[in-house]
Chains A and B, each alone.
Chain A
Amino acid sequence: MYLAKIKKYAQLGIIVFLAVFVSNFLMSEVFINKSPVIRKDLKTHMTAWFNNNMSLSKLIALITGKTARENEIARKKIEEGYNNLQKVAFTQIAPGVKVRASENFSETSYDVQGVKWIKHKVVVDGIEHEYGWPEGKELPSQSMLENMFR
């Protein structure tokens, strides 16, 4: 009798566990198109819909077709940014930190991790140089930059 109960509870547990994975798979592969951006936003969209701040058609559009296109555009942008970063010469000036020396540095460059790079200027030996640096990261010291551009 106890064995039958244990078997039943084990069966229930396994099925519930399985259902979590199936729903997770559906969410990530079918509904959210694998995009971390949309994945993050989905809860916001669902909440907006739930609180009547968004129509059902808009929600469906966000979850299905339109988001797929938007995701594609976003992914392409990230890939483009990554390719541009690859083209530019990087010089390692500190462990784990890279300075880019490029005249074509865009004001709105993002790296593959989605970190914004901001354009800065430095004068070394009377010549002005531009370099990109991740937003929020402590700027390199003058001596590091002098070593870099000299």
Chain B
Amino acid sequence: MYLGPFYFDTKEIFLILAAIIVGLAMFFNWPLIWFNPKILLTLIILMLLTKGLLPAIHNEAFFILAIVTVFLTLYLPFFQIVLFYFISFALFRLLRVI
């Protein structure tokens, strides 16, 4: 889908949709079981930025990393989650997975 000069694929649109829903949850104070909406929103923005840098061929690796990252927010502090996310990307690149 083209929005102005930018092309968005399905997954990016879903990420934007998720950001909007989480934003609404924050705005209207909807309770989210287990998850902190602020952390989720920050992660979604980080994911959108990194997704923009990756070609579509690596969507699978990106998806697995995204799922693991979101679930790790249940156990680890946010700073460690961000560390984990970028270390994973570095390892993906170093070990030639992407």
Contact = CB atoms under 8 A, between A and B. Distances in A.
Contact of B88 (A19, A26, A27, A46): A19
| Chain A interface helix/strand/loop/mixed | helix
Given A16-B64, A16-B88, A19-B91, A26 B83 contact: yes
B77 A42 contact: yes
| Chain B interface helix/strand/loop/mixed | helix
Interface string B74-98: 0011111001100110011001010
B97 A15 contact: yes
Interface residues of A, number: 22
B50 to A, nearest CB: 14
A123 interface: no
Interface in B4-28: none
A70 B56 CA distance: 48
Interface of B: 38-39, 60-61, 64-65, 68, 72, 76-80, 83-84, 87-88, 91-92, 95, 97
